[in-house]
Amino acid sequence: MNITLKIWRQKNAKSKGRFETYKLNNVATDMSFLEMLDYLNETLITQGQEPVAFEHDCREGICGSCGIYINGRPHGNERRTTTCELRMTQFEDGCTITVEPWRAAAFPVIKDLVVDRSAFDKIIAAGGYISTNAGAAQDANAIPVSKHNADLAFDTASCIGCGACVAACKNASAMLFVAAKIAHLAQFPQGRIEAAERAKKMIAKMDELGFGGCTNTRACEAECPKGISISTIAKLNREFISAKIKD
C-alpha cells in the first residue's frame, strides 16, 4: 500500500514545530504502526534526511511509551489499542495519516513525536506507593480480600501511564491516571493505612504540575487503551473528600 504521512517535526523543546509531508510506498499491510515509522526512517536515512524521533520500548502494549496522536485521536482510531499494537491493516491504500505528539502543557515536546512524560513519575513519587512496613510476604489468602476489590485492583493496575487520558481531555487532566493508581492501592489492607495522605499528596502534585481539572467528558475513558473506567475518578474523589473532612 502507498500512504501519505503528515508528521509533526520539532527540533527541540524551544524550536517552533511544523508538519512535514512524506510519501511512503510499498508499505506492508501486516506492519505495525511503529514498524511503518521504522520503514519511513530507513527511507529518510537512505535519502540523507534526519529520521523522525518517536518513543518506543516493549512494543507489546505494556510500557505505554509509544503514545502518539494519530488522525486526531490518541493511539489511533482502534479502541483499547496502543500505538505499537495498531496495524496498518486499519488504514486504506492511498490514505493520508496525520501523526503528532501529545498536546499538553505538562507534557512538553522533547523532539518530533517524543514528549516528556516525567510529570507522571513525579505524581507517583508524591504518594503512589506503600511505604508502611507490611512485614514479610504473606501466605496466599492469609489476608482476605473480596473478589470485588481484587477485580477492581487488577483492572486499575493495568494502567500503563501512557498519557492518552491527558491527551484526549480538553482540560489535559490527569485524573484518570491518578485515580487508577490510587484506586489500585486503596483496595488492599496494606494500602488503606496511607490512603488519605496518598490522595492529598498525589492530587496536590498533579495540580502543581499544571494538569487541568476533570469535567467528566469521559474522553479519557473512551481513549484509554486499557479501558479503565471513570468510576475510578469517583473513588479518587471519595478518598480526597474523606481525607479533607478528617483534616
**Residue 183 main-chain phi, psi, to 5 deg:** -65, -35
pLDDT tens track for 221-244: 999 999 999 999 998 998 899 888
Q: What is the pLDDT of residue 119?
A: 97
Arithmetic mean of pLDDT over the chain:
93
In a shared domain, residues 94 and 158: no
Q: Quick one: 33 and 94 in the same domain?
A: yes
Instruction: Give the pLDDT score at 61.
Output: 95
- Average pLDDT of the segment spanning 88-102: 97
Q: Please tell me the distance from the alpha carbon of residue 40 to that of residue 51, in angstroms, as a whole number.
A: 8
Provide the number of structural domains found in the chain.
Answer: 2
> Can you tell me the mean pLDDT for 162-191?
93
What pLDDT is recorded for position 224? 97
Q: CATH number of the domain that 141 lies in?
A: 1.10.1060.10
Q: Which of 103, 73, 104 is nearest to 86 (CA)?
A: 73
Stretch 43-63: mean pLDDT: 96
CA distance 219 to 215: 10
- In this structure, the answer to whether residues 190 and 142 fall within a common structural domain is yes
- Going by pLDDT thresholds of 50, 70 and 90, the confidence category of residue 192 is confident
Instruction: Tell me: pLDDT of 104 over 90.
Output: yes
Is 185 found in the same domain as 121?
yes
Domain boundary residue among 110, 130, 151?
110
> Are 65 and 155 in the same domain?
no
26 shares its domain with 129: no
Residue after which a domain boundary falls, among 91, 110, 129: 110
One domain, residues 64 and 145: no
Q: State whether 96 and 121 are in the same domain.
A: no
Give the range of the structural domain holding residue 235, as residue numbers without chain letter: 117-246
Boundary of a domain, candidates 71, 89, 110:
110
What average pLDDT does range 32-44 have in this prediction?
Answer: 98
The CATH number of whichever domain residue 92 belongs to comes to 3.10.20.30
**Is residue 184 scored above 80 in pLDDT?**
yes
- The dihedral region occupied by 216, where left means phi > 0, alpha psi between -120 and 50, and beta the remainder, is left
Pair 12, 104 in one domain: yes
Shared domain for 141 and 194, answered yes or no, is: yes
Average pLDDT on 65-86 reads: 96
What's the confidence (pLDDT) of residue 134?
A: 65
- What is the reported pTM? 0.91
Residue 186, pLDDT above cutoff 90: no
Cβ(40)–Cβ(50) under 8 Å?
no
- Tell whether 122 and 192 lie within a shared domain: yes
Q: Rounded CA gap, 62 and 83, in Å? A: 11
